[in-house]
Structure 1
Amino acid sequence: MSLEFFSATDVGRARDNNEDSVALDEDVGLAVLADGMGGYNAGEVASQMLTSFIRAELGRWLKESGAAASPADVRRAMDICVDNANRAIFNAANTNPRYAGMGTTLVLGVFRAEGLLLGHVGDSRGYRLRAGQLTQITRDHSLLQEQLDAGLLTPEEAVYSNNKNLVTRAVGVEDTVMLELHLHEVLPGDQFLFCSDGLSDMLEDDALRQLLIARPALPEASHALIEAANEAGGRDNIALILVRAENKPKAEPRSWWPFGRR
């Protein structure tokens, strides 16, 4: 299959700086999205440190290992890279008072022949659009999700909860972090959306689905999603990555004649 990638960020309507960051390395099927948190510009620093580190380090490893690496090898490389990035952000937060308490969420995808290896930390999300159905394929690491899982809140009550932005896991906040990592099948026609909560908090899943279906071109879909989130309030920065999988076109048969067909 061939993969098409597109990414975008937007400051939204309520903030002056952008604490969301994205990075792509299409040659190795790598997509990274982060939503920073912290005072002053610390959230922006944390998210940019994370996306830059992963794109450089994991991207280099994927280039060097190529298709020879097994899924288990890639999982281990993803874990090690996130752990190293976590330590770098944690150390920066603990040595520079301006960055104290900074951290960031993460969605990390590696597309391979075996499927999508998708890791995440925090409440930034991954979705899959298949045959017109949108499915959330990550599970938020948040207090709100824990309350839903425990039956303390209904989905209807969760919409109005004050705990929406309280994450229970983030990169750089502690000296270790656990990356939740799963392998997902990728079929021709599948489309994947990675996004920060600046998008998912503003738009219901069905609105995301309808916008993606109505605009097949990834740049147009990206613009429509950001515009809709801003029209709904734009209360946070918005970041998204779109990836579409398609069958590779069959190569035209070549003639044996050295100067082309006769």
Structure 2
Amino acid sequence: MVNRSDIGRIRQVNEDSALTGLINDHMAFAIVADGMGGHQAGDVASQVAVEAFQRVLQQHVEIANWTAEDAKRLMRIAIRQANDEIYHLAKQLTQYHNMGTTIVAALIIDSLVIIGHVGDSRAYRINAEQLEQLTEDHSLVNALVQSGQLTAEEAEHHPRKNVLTRAIGTDDDVDIDVRILEWNKQDLLLLCSDGLSNRVTEENLHQVVVSSLPLSERADQLIELALQAGGDDNITLVLCDMNDSPDRREDT
């Protein structure tokens, strides 16, 4: 499991954060957060989110016999903790007013992957046959596409493409999408901020991720593709190969 983050070519601050690791011998985790709120706010929001998420998981380090439903509940608890901490920090300090972040996270238990997300950071399942987007963007343009008011092509160039309908830390409560997936050994997991998914086509994502390069080089190549496409946003990703043994799923 590897993670990468790049400030891009335009932004002055990297407002993205990512973290991967092991809770114990039975569970691995990954999280990507894309902060918003400007200098000294978005970067704080994303960092608070990943730290709060990890802290909740560490409180359950002694548990070994995780069921899918247990992990699903843990995902919701961890993301809600991130929401609470960012929301109250934004209320207390003027410089953090209106800050927030997206979250896309995964808990990995044997052949199960539990995905949780809020916002427009994405999770993909990728194998030799296909690339499958596992998350629905919580964004204005996606809502318009779903209702038939915009085509997917129109949404790509819509001036309000970056407007979110749901985010972490902007309200005292948040609706979290969580799903449980059976995972095959040949499947790879990609979590990313929109700095990658908005700039690199699904065809190119698929081509790089299923290549025979070492996992770290595939991650580097994805960052490079986003930079070559303009790099007008921060670019962050986690790439996980399910063939990795648990003791190799560690922070990179």
- TM-score bin, normalised by smaller chain: over 0.9
Instruction: Give yes or no for the alignment of 1:10 onto 2:13.
Output: no
Larger Rg: 1
Aligned residues with identical type, % of pairs: 39
Q: Which residue of 1 aligns with 2:31?
A: 32
Q: Per-residue displacement from partner, 1:184-205 (whole Å, max 9, x unpaired)?
A: 1110111010000000011111
Kept in 2: contact 1:71–1:114 (CA 8 A): no
Matched letter for residue 223 of structure 1: D
Equivalent in 162, 166, 183 of residue 186 of structure 1: 183
Question: Could you tell me how far apart the structure 2 residues matched to 1:10 and 1:129 are?
Answer: 22
Question: Structure 2: how far apart are the matches of 1:135 and 1:149?
Answer: 18
Preserved CA contact (<8 Å) 1:24 1:55? no
Shift of 1:247: 7.8
Residue aligning to 1:251:
none
Q: Deviations over 1:23-76 (max 9, x none)?
A: 111343111110000032100000000001111221331x2212x132222211
Q: 1:205 aligns with which of 202, 207, 231?
A: 202
Deviates more, 1:87-96 or 1:52-61: 52-61
**1:132–1:213 contact (8 Å) kept in structure 2:** no
Which ranges in structure 2 are unaligned for 5 or more consecutive residues? 246-252
Q: Quote the residue 1:234 is aligned against.
A: 231
1:215–1:11: structure 2 CA closer, same or farther, 3 Å change rule?
A: farther
1:132 Cα deviation (Å)?
3.2
Bigger Cα displacement from structure 2, 74-83 vs 166-175: 74-83
Structure 2 CA distance for aligned equivalents of residues 203 and 137 of structure 1: 17
CA distance in 1, matches of 2:138, 2:213: 31
> What amino acid is aligned across from residue 32 of structure 1 in structure 2?
I
Please point out which of 62, 77, 82 is paired with 1:80.
77
TM-score (norm 1): 0.89
CA distance in 2 between partners of 1:130 and 1:214 (Å):
10
Matched residue SS, 1:47? helix
| Contact 2:104–2:118 (CA under 8 A) maintained in structure 1 | yes
Contact 2:127-2:210 within 8 A present in 1 as well: no
SS at match of 1:12: coil
The Cα of 1:215 is off from its aligned counterpart by 4.5
Task: Compute the RMSD of aligned alpha carbons.
Answer: 1.3
Q: 2:215 aligns with which of 214, 218, 237?
A: 218
The aligned counterpart of 2:63 is 65
CA distance in 1, matches of 2:131, 2:46: 27
Deviation at 1:114, TM superposition (A): 4.9
Distance 2:220 2:194 in 1: 16
Q: Which runs of 5+ in 1 are unaligned?
A: 249-262
The 3 A distance-change label for structure 1 pair 203 and 159 is same
Alpha-carbon separation, structure 2, partners of 1:224 and 1:161: 28
Q: Which residue of 2 aligns with 1:157?
A: 154
Residue aligned with 1:233, SS: coil
Cα gap change, 1:159/1:215 in structure 2, threshold over 3 Å: closer, same or farther? farther
Task: Supply the AA of the counterpart residue of 1:154.
Answer: T
Distance in structure 1 (CA, Å) of the matches to 2:144 and 2:212? 35
Scaled by the length of structure 2, what TM-score is found?
0.92
1:213 and 1:43 mapped to 2: Cα distance? 32
Which AA in structure 2 matches 1:19? E
Deviating 4+ runs (over 3 angstroms)? none
Does structure 2 retain, via aligned residues, the 8 Å contact 1:37–1:44? yes
Q: How many residues in Structure 1 have an aligned counterpart in Structure 2?
A: 242
Distance of aligned partners of 1:225 and 1:215 in 2 relative to their CA distance in 1, 3 Å threshold: farther
Question: Could you tell me which residue of structure 1 aligns to residue 250 of structure 2?
Answer: none
